[in-house]
Structures are given as C-alpha cells and as structure tokens.
Structure 1
Amino acid sequence: MPRQNRVLARPVRALLWLAGTISLALGLVGVVLPGLPTTPFVLLAAACYAKASPRLHAWLLNHRLTGPMLRDWEAHRSLTRRTKTVAVVSMLLMVSLSIWSFRGRLVLQLVLLALGAIGAWVVLRIPTRRL
C-alpha cells in the first residue's frame, strides 16, 4: 500500500470506529429511551466496525443479543414484517407511556412525540421481506 493511502486509512478507520461506537451507544440507549430506535443504530455500528475494526464487527455478529439481527441483516438487507411490527409497537407503547407520565409538560410531550415519530419513520423505511 502506498504511504499516502496508509496515512489516510488510519484517520478514516479512527473516524469509522468513533462513529460505530457512538452508534452502538445510541442503540443501547434506545433500548430504554422511548422513541429512539435501537435497530438502525446497531446496524450502523456494525457497518462502521466492518470497515474499522473486524474484531468488534465479529464480536457484534457473535453476540447473543445483536448477532442474530446482524447476521439476518447482512444476509437479506431487510427486516421481516414481524420485526418491524414489534419495533414500532414497542416504540408506540413506550412513547405513549412516557407522554402520559409527563402530563402537564406539553413541550416534553411534543418532543417525545416527535422523537417517536422519527423512530417509527426510520424503522418503517427499512425494506420489508417475507419470511
């Protein structure tokens, strides 16, 4: 590899690693924060790690929680209707519960509603496939 490419490759890999780590963190936060989707962030983290850190990519692929979803994504580049339904319904339930718990705080309720709508939109834009 020419010297110029090696110099550029290291900063690019570092940025991809950083983007993957931030995406994975957002995905983990999305598990407990209503309206923040988990799946797209985990998929983005895996894509970044595939280029930046084969070791972390392999770890995600073999992890008991993220592995099946990522292997399925890499094989088909789509989600099943059931997966999308579970994601959107769980977001709807959690956003509704959060909006109810913040009753009387209209601004927070509107922010939660907007985040939930964005999260559902992201999930619904992912291609759907049949089993």
Structure 2
Amino acid sequence: MVRLTNLWRRWALTALGCVCVALGILGVVLPVLPTTPFLLVAVWAFARSSERLHTWLVHHPWLGRPVRDWEHHRVIPIRAKVIALSAMTVSMTWVLFFSSAPWYALATMAAVMSYGAWFILSKPSRPPSAS
C-alpha cells in the first residue's frame, strides 16, 4: 500500500510539474500570466518526483538560468522585483480607490502585500560573483 501511495505521489507531482512548465511557457508570451512562479513550482515538484525532469528544467537553455539562480542562491532578478512591486502597487491603489471593500479587507490586503514586498526585497537581485 505504501508503495502505491508513493507511486501516486510521484505521478501527481510529475503531472503538476508538467502543467506548471506549460503554464510558465505560456507566461513568456502572455503578459497576464506569470512565468517564474510556475517554473519554481515545477522545479520543486520535479525535485520530488523525477530527477530526469528536474535536471532538464534546471539546465534548459532558456528557462534554466532563473530557476538555477533561485534554487542555489534564492535570487529574484531586479526586473522581476520591479514588475511584482509595480503590480502590487497598482492593485492596491485600484482596490483602494475603485472598490467598496470594507476597511478590514483593505487592511488585510495591505498587510499581505507588505509581507510579499518585504520578501521580494529581502532576496538578492543577482547571484554572488565567483571570486
């Protein structure tokens, strides 16, 4: 029974990784769909389910570098930081001025976004240089 459960878990994580890679690739061409979060979920899922697919994603010529930088150094590139923080600011401004959300919903949204902004800003923008 345990072996069957492990097989299902590996299959589910591999499927999740494949779906996330597909969504990440779509995000390259669709501006409303983010690429990086899907690729990070994919590399996480593949690391727990398929060494072959994990290696493929980490060493992919187009997708691999940001995934490797995150996996090894927890790097968030400056461009991604600017996009994320800008999107949070625009979203908060829009909700604040153009919605009738109650004050506690606005406060919760501001708190969650503040934590997200802190997390993003606390990560390095580039990997450490090899000396």
- TM range, smaller chain: 0.5 to 0.7
Q: Which amino acid aligns with 2:50?
A: S
Quote how far apart the aligned CAs of 1:81 are: 2.6
Quote how far apart the aligned CAs of 1:68 are: 1.1
1:129 aligns with 2:111: no
2: distance between equivalents of 1:70 and 1:83? 13
1:26 aligns with 2:29: no
TM-score when normalising by structure 1: 0.63
Matches within 5 A, 1:1-131: 4-85=1-82, 88=83, 126=120, 127-131=122-126
Query: Which 5+ residue runs of structure 1 have no aligned equivalent?
Result: 93-120
1: distance between equivalents of 2:44 and 2:125? 23
1: distance between equivalents of 2:124 and 2:30? 27
Q: Which amino acid aligns with 1:28?
A: I
Quote how far apart the aligned CAs of 1:130 are: 4.4
Q: Choose between structure 1 and 2 for higher RCO, CA contacts under 8 A separated by at least 6 residues.
A: 1
1: distance between equivalents of 2:72 and 2:41? 15
Quote how far apart the aligned CAs of 1:128 are: 2.8
Query: Which 5+ residue runs of structure 2 have no aligned equivalent?
Result: 88-112, 127-131
Quote how far apart the aligned CAs of 1:35 are: 1.3
